[in-house]
Amino acid sequence: MRLFLSSWKLGNAPELLDDLVGDARTPAVVGNALDALPDPARRQATGREVAMLRDRGYQVTEVDLRDHFGDPGALAERLSGFGVVWVHGGNPFVLRLAMALSGADEILTGLLRRDAVVYAGWSAGACVLSPDLHGLELVDDPADTVTAYDRPALWEGLGLLDHAFVPHYRSPIPESEPIERVVERYDREGVPYRALRDGEVTIIDRPSTVESR
């Protein structure tokens, strides 16, 4: 299983993604964490992700999970053609529900366990790999799933990590303040977690793990 997990975009070590991917420089960009935003804002944000990866020489295609709600077979066939799935930040509750409605949660879990794809996620894109999403409601609104899909939030994560992923820790962005409350809650409740500052990246390439701190 190969994971590139970042607090903010490519972080301070984008070459770690290049090394993890090798020649399979064909990412599917998933921007569904922003589905509760107005469509122009969502398109603009996802366009920046596409441009960022293209600037590094990646051949990028956006894959909108909404196009595959209720049709996981078509999504599985589509994702099988990519070497990387790049999942960018936003609201983790919205992203998690989009993964469930499209079947991306089970599809990606299967691809990762077969080492058939690299999963690269930052902020919400990494948070959804945690065992569950409790605590993140201090930062993002679970009710945004109703805005996006008219459905309540799911609270269980994909469980590909054995700890909670906490981005933006003590970083110069507004989200850093509520993240402090998330960390305090996890400490109080004994929840295992890994907190990353913006710029920091964790690489999981089992059986080995390398960290850029």
- Structure tokens, 126: 């990494």
Strand (E) or helix (H) holding 212: strand 208-212
Non-local CB neighbours of 1 within 8 Å, separated by 6+ positions: 112, 113, 115, 160, 204, 205, 206
Would you give the DSSP letter of residue 34? G
* pTM of the predicted structure, to 2 decimals: 0.95
pLDDT at 147: 97
pLDDT one-digit tens code per residue, 35-93? 999 999 999 999 999 999 999 999 999 999 999 999 999 999 999 999 999 999 999 99
**Chain position carrying tokens 């962005």:** 173
Low-confidence ranges of the chain (pLDDT < 70): 207-213
The residue type at 46: T
pLDDT at 209: 46
Non-local CB neighbours of 15 within 8 Å, separated by 6+ positions: none
- Structure tokens, 192: 């295992």
Q: Is the peptide bond before 207 cis (omega within 30 degrees of 0)?
A: yes
pLDDT at 207: 54
Domains of the chain: 2-212 (3.40.50.880)
Taking the C-alpha atoms of residue 139 and residue 136, their distance in angstroms, rounded to an integer, is 5
pLDDT at 206: 79
